[in-house]
Structure 1
């Protein structure tokens, strides 16, 4: 009640009627002392010269004000006063100034909006759009550094003189550079979960080098010796496992039997398992039937061995080709079958003589090739195409060993090289999820196919009628493209249902183009009907990945499969 009595009814301060002003002094006793502008003495605000009946307030510093259009305004607000010729402003005016009268006093019966809109008891509140990123930035900056931006002015407001503005980008870059130069603190290796300054990747220097064991040294010496032997040609040999190199009539073991006949022009789905070839100690990556006759089967294994198997008679291994120091990635026959080419993970492409097992040439040493193909023309069997891991396609002459042409438009490792249009053009697929069409001998792409919905194609095969080619897409689908004049997708011929994501499972066709065949990552063999696109049959072929499949060229209802379990199986 003493506080209420210290003020008059109209809100102006007046001396207390009940006493000598002690109530007023009690009210302001908690305020700090200031120098009075009237008596020049230090006392509390609103209590100066009470004995004389004078109420003084704290001294006001008017040096920060400016006279604008006969008005005393703060220098911070002078930017809101514009000249008469101004047609554009570059900041947001407050609501009271936007709706204030142009000049003169406010009409007593005028609208309330003339003096400024008021939608809150404290004044006018405006809604403004602010992104969550900007709000979080200001919130974190204010609570961490004490600095925030004034919404009415493009300047930063600090809590005090000891708090600085946030560092700029160049300053932050210099700070990071200085921190990177500072040597990291030593790490206690006895603590397995010690936090390091750069999680989750620790400094390499934090772990001391360990001494190699005898087993490790022996392994490294073996690898170095194998690399030297691969470069010098040591270890390139072959082993013949048959009874004789020639029969009683002097014909080579490579010749096809005379009793081979084409069974039928119609292919039927295989139902039963006929035979299993076992001889590779690791997985089998590719299988190829001998051209035209199919009496022999070539297999490329991850154990670095290439084997030739008998298909027609006793179904035994006839010859083993040794030379690759690491796994063999791909193999391909020439048109007559007298030669074949292999590429391995030892980064060497080797050309072999099928009959003698001799190495006729080595190409692309030091560079990894994922696929190799001969030119399909009989007069260009010396031209070899290789899809490299360094994003290039190399055209090599096996007679001279030189690189004749290089195609380098791809942005990723080249997975496949497939000839179409009777060898005049070829199609390449890559890990960059694109398909490129080239003219043979011209290092400029003539067509480029790319789409955001496309996936990388890891294996490609052409239909026996040469009208289409199918690719193994990494989204568990087999896509179809035309192999004629215009290379365009056929969206109506898409085969799905298998799981091949991450595996380059080969696609094959029956000799009459009725069925499409592919393995999958679970060891199954899928067979689709070309017309209906439905799964016609599924066979559990291998334990693990079924990476390859091939139809016999003459026995049109038999299929060979290979897998990473090291086995080759024959189905009828």
Structure 2
């Protein structure tokens, strides 16, 4: 016989090279005696004891793949590579998977076959030469035996291996399975919300008891917002400094329905679009992103070239939204063309919040510009179309305003101030401040504490740096109830648009609570 049977050795090749050559010569002699018998030569230390056994990682971890469900089970966790199960299951990309192939020599080269298991040794024997060399680049120098006859591999195994290899190279196909499950997010109506959809809602109430506590964020939760579409109002959106934003079932089960990880920086602000099918977020990674709620895919991703503090959609043109942050300008983006359509320039360092007034003709921008004796340019009124300043002499006290809220019925808006009170302003020119009406009792102390009106405008809610949630009567400014919600600063209180006496709160420790 003119050719030899040769295989690439496993990681123990350096110690058993001589034994491999002796085994190869013995196999040639055996083939000459038994020509109808299939020949397979390898070192006894290389033969796996079971279809699932292969050389583990140096840290003792083992990764198994079954079918199209990309899940990893680790025997022991390496301290420098913690498991990211949610990220790998939903948002793993091609680059992450390819890097794992070349970095981990023990990573299986093909997934387990659905009809028959293929050992890693058999899979390696018919892999492309360049890919096999990339796994162990030093082996080519040791094995100088010329390539010979390859063992016969059944057609069923060859076809199965090729199919599984395609699934490994294109993990995005597995995302479609998640889309099927996630499509129920917008198709289901909560049984708790459904009775309130047929009749007109009454007066807003005060939540007093804890309904559920939602945990899962690993950093401060900056905001929580209910979906404003009535039949989807059981969905609760949260944005956190842990670079994620989530959608929860805040009415019944309290489950986290979806995790979105499209930002590489802290998510500072997030809101629902008017249709309820998309989420608008702004992050410290300079990006503003519109994300599809069902599929988790990014519809639009825009680079603002500054850290985003606030994002607000236009009330009458939802395809246009404003972005403000660590910059002296506010940008208006058109999501259809992905271009900046308007720029509003002011002599400030950063924008804290943006509030569109009724109709979207004007908007108010809150900045950090404070002089020695007054807060000149703290609140600036802009004309949306002409980008001209309407007024910058609205608020004259030495406090910044981290949050703004528009009254749903009357021509007024409220500004949360670092003076530990909320001030009321007229939403029509010249935007005068009502000095006789202030809402006091909570603390701000430098935190981005938000305020919000109830749907009927009778109750004004605010968080507090003390961890409490405060509810005020809008007309009399008296305190209706103080809810001792959290032990850390309470940053946001969001009142439910349909369910009476229901609100969600979030705090600096990453906890979310629903009250009723």
> How would you bin the TM-score normalised by the shorter chain?
0.5 to 0.7
With over 3 angstroms needed to count, the CA separation of the structure-2 counterparts of 1:263 and 1:543, relative to structure 1, is farther
* Aligned position for 1:354: 293
- 1:284 corresponds to which of 221, 227, 243: 221
Query: SS in structure 2 opposite 1:337?
Result: coil
Deviation at 1:554, TM superposition (A): 0.6
* Aligned position for 1:295: 234
Deviation at 1:246, TM superposition (A): 5.0
Query: SS in structure 1 opposite 2:312?
Result: strand
Q: Does 1:528 align with 2:475?
A: no
Structure 2 unaligned blocks of 5 or more: 1-79, 82-90, 98-170, 370-374
With over 3 angstroms needed to count, the CA separation of the structure-2 counterparts of 1:292 and 1:454, relative to structure 1, is farther
Query: SS in structure 2 opposite 1:449?
Result: coil
Structure 1 unaligned blocks of 5 or more: 1-217, 220-228
Relative to the length of structure 1, the TM-score reads: 0.55
- Correspondence 1:94-493 to 2 at 5 A: 244-245=181-182, 252-253=186-187, 259-261=195-197, 264-293=201-230, 294-377=233-316, 380-432=317-369, 433=375, 434-449=378-393, 452-493=396-437
With over 3 angstroms needed to count, the CA separation of the structure-2 counterparts of 1:233 and 1:386, relative to structure 1, is farther
Relative to the length of structure 2, the TM-score reads: 0.61
- Does structure 2 retain, via aligned residues, the 8 Å contact 1:239–1:321? no
* Aligned position for 2:132: none
With over 3 angstroms needed to count, the CA separation of the structure-2 counterparts of 1:255 and 1:321, relative to structure 1, is farther
- Does structure 1 retain, via aligned residues, the 8 Å contact 2:273–2:279? yes
Which fold has the larger relative contact order, with Cα–Cα distance below 8 Å and residues 6 or more apart in sequence? 2
- Does structure 1 retain, via aligned residues, the 8 Å contact 2:183–2:294? no
Query: SS in structure 1 opposite 2:238?
Result: strand
- Does structure 2 retain, via aligned residues, the 8 Å contact 1:396–1:404? yes
- Does structure 2 retain, via aligned residues, the 8 Å contact 1:457–1:472? yes
- Does structure 1 retain, via aligned residues, the 8 Å contact 2:182–2:295? no
With over 3 angstroms needed to count, the CA separation of the structure-2 counterparts of 1:233 and 1:326, relative to structure 1, is farther
Deviation at 1:499, TM superposition (A): 1.2
Deviation at 1:268, TM superposition (A): 1.8
Matched positions, count: 340
- Does structure 2 retain, via aligned residues, the 8 Å contact 1:476–1:497? yes
Deviation at 1:493, TM superposition (A): 1.8
Give, in whole Å, the separation in 2 of the partners of 1:242 and 1:329: 26
- Residues 456-510 of structure 1: CA deviation (Å, up to 9, x unaligned): 1110111121421111111111111111354211112211121102011110112
- For the aligned residue pairs, the C-alpha RMSD in angstroms reads 2.9
